[in-house]
């Protein structure tokens, strides 16, 4: 597992469309697109707003009844995929 | 000096084409207004455009992995290279296209490569959107079938036509956003069918249709043999994504509703897109397809692997569109 950056940002070239609670992310520089389910969409919204993974974990634990270890696994897996596709980038 | 002037005028992809070679697949425009009025000028040359190192824009492969289409971009324009067959060069505006065909490539193959492979991508370069789709007339609108090659799009369109819903096109459906919604038209009217689909459509007496190209067994069905003539620009009523389920226990066609997100992803997957580095195009396409996903049904149509299922599939789609 690669080490994930603690802070993240949405690159300028990425746009998100919210379609009835599910998001589609599109990279305007490569045409890459990626669909998120409702939970993934909420994670995306929080990442876009706050940038810090730990902050997102804390807010998600308040909103969802989910074991923290499972949440961290799911969050890290999603972040790794979005980083790989250029739909997220390391923040400052 | 070896480029004859475009003297043949046609309407295709909603554009006016002036061509140095005749395209019997298209209906001629009687009062075209000369080459100056044309959106695209097509000429052929025995001398290929100068080779330049370009950025790779897209490639497609044949079933055995060998390159089918290699498209590159240079400062001068876009090159569409079909190795072993022909080379098309378009300027950056997509207005002037020159073809250099290999000596043993028959004229019908050159025309097919331009009409069915290059032109939809040039249309996208010029700011237009199109789906890789078969389409049929339903009432006063158009119903589209998308899906991977071999899923039965053309055959389903032929089944609709046999039952009275005119087939509009079998490969490229041009889309237009308008104030009242999204309208669609064939890139050009006509069908390309496998022989068994042709026989189903035209019966045992069918015959005499020419091959689309020398490398495929598909037959081109002339437009004059299709009823209702020019389909024109009509409202898009629905989009159905075909999944042929070989070896599945599925006994009858079945429709699956897609979420708006999945509908949008499905539309993007089957869109003609030339240059994925063109962010204006991607944003424009995203906006149009989101509009379609919100406005009309976009469904998955699961099909058993049997011709006998086609009438039931038609009934299912018509009921879904409230046209039964």
In Å, how far is B151's CA from the nearest CA of chain A?
24
Interface of A with B in 10-29 (CB under 8 A): 13, 15, 17, 19-20, 22-24, 26, 28-29
What pLDDT is stored for residue B30 in this prediction? 73
**For the segment B119-156, what is each residue's pLDDT rounded down to a tens digit?**
999 999 999 999 999 999 999 899 999 999 888 898 89
**For the segment B219-258, what is each residue's pLDDT rounded down to a tens digit?**
776 544 444 444 578 999 999 999 998 877 778 999 999 9
Beta carbons of B276 and A15 less than 8 Å apart? no
- Sequence-separated contacts (24+) of A59-62 with Cβ below 8 Å: none
Question: Measured between beta carbons, which residues in chain B are less than 8 angstroms from residue A36?
Answer: 261
Alpha-carbon distance of B22 to B16, in angstroms, equals 14
Question: Measured between beta carbons, which residues in chain B are less than 8 angstroms from residue A31?
Answer: 273, 276, 282
End-to-end CA distance of chain B: 58
Can you give the pTM of this predicted structure? 0.88
* Residue of A20, A28, A33 with shortest CB distance to B259: A20
- Identify the residue with better confidence: B304 or B324: B304
Pair A88, A82: CB distance under 8 Å: yes
Model confidence at B34, pLDDT cuts 50, 70, 90, reads low
**Residue B229 region by backbone torsions, left for phi larger than 0, else alpha for psi between -120 and 50, else beta:** left
**For the segment A3-54, what is each residue's pLDDT rounded down to a tens digit?**
889 899 999 999 999 999 999 999 998 889 999 999 999 999 999 999 999 9
pLDDT at B109 over 70: yes
Q: b/e map of B4-32 (b: 16 or more CB within 10 Å)? A: eebebbbbbbbbbbbbbbebebbbebeeb
Model confidence at B181, pLDDT cuts 50, 70, 90, reads confident
Interface of A with B in 32-51 (CB under 8 A): 33, 35-36
Alpha-carbon distance of B178 to A5, in angstroms, equals 45
Alpha-carbon distance of B212 to B321, in angstroms, equals 32
Q: What integer is the mean pLDDT of B49-73?
A: 87
Beta carbons of A26 and B286 less than 8 Å apart? yes
Beta carbons of B265 and A17 less than 8 Å apart? no
* Residue of A20, A31, A36 with shortest CB distance to B276: A31
Question: Coil, helix or strand for A20?
Answer: coil
What pLDDT is stored for residue B226 in this prediction? 46
pLDDT at B190 over 90: no
**For the segment A52-89, what is each residue's pLDDT rounded down to a tens digit?**
999 999 999 999 999 999 999 999 999 999 999 999 99
Pair B12, B187: CB distance under 8 Å: yes
Alpha-carbon distance of B196 to B23, in angstroms, equals 26
Pair B78, B92: CB distance under 8 Å: yes
What pLDDT is stored for residue B225 in this prediction? 47
């Amino acid at each position: 597992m690669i080490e994930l950056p603690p802070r993240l940002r949405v690159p300028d070239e990425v746009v998100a469309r919210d379609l009835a609670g599910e998001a589609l992310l599109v990279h305007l520089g490569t045409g890459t697109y990626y669909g998120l389910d409702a939970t993934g969409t909420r994670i995306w919204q929080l990442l876009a707003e706050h940038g810090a993974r730990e902050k997102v974990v804390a807010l998600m634990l308040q909103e969802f009844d989910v074991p923290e270890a499972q949440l961290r696994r799911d969050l890290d897996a999603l972040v790794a995929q979005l980083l790989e596709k250029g739909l997220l980038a390391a923040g400052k | 000096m070896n480029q004859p002037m475009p003297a043949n005028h046609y309407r295709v992809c909603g554009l006016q084409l002036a061509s140095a070679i005749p395209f019997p697949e298209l209906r001629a425009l009687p009062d075209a207004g000369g080459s100056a009025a044309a959106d695209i000028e097509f000429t052929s040359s025995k001398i290929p455009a100068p080779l330049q190192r370009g950025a790779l824009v897209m490639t497609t492969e044949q079933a055995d992995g060998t390159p089918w289409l290699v498209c590159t971009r240079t400062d001068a324009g876009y090159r569409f290279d079909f190795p072993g067959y022909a080379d098309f060069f378009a300027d950056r505006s997509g207005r002037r296209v020159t073809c250099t065909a290999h000596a043993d490539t028959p004229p019908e193959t050159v025309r097919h490569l331009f009409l069915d492979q290059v032109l939809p991508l040039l249309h996208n370069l010029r700011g237009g959107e199109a789906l890789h789709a078969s389409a049929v007339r339903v009432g006063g609108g158009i119903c589209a079938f998308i899906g991977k090659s071999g899923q039965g799009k053309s055959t389903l369109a032929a089944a609709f036509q046999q039952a009275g819903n005119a087939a509009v096109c079998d490969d490229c459906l041009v889309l237009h956003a308008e104030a009242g919604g999204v309208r669609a038209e064939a890139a050009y009217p006509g069908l390309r069918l496998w022989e068994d689909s042709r026989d189903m459509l035209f019966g045992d007496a069918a015959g005499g249709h020419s091959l689309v190209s020398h490398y495929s067994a598909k037959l081109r069905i002339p437009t004059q043999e299709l009823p209702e003539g020019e389909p024109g620009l009509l409202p898009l009523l629905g989009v159905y994504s075909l999944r042929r389920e070989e070896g599945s226990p599925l006994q009858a066609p079945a429709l699956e509703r897609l979420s708006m997100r999945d509908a949008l992803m499905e539309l993007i997957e089957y869109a003609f897109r030339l240059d994925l580095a063109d962010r204006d195009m991607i944003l424009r396409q995203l906006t149009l397809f989101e509009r379609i996903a919100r406005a009309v049904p976009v469904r998955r149509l699961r099909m058993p692997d049997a011709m006998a299922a086609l009438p039931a599939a038609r009934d299912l789609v018509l009921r879904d569109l409230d046209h039964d």
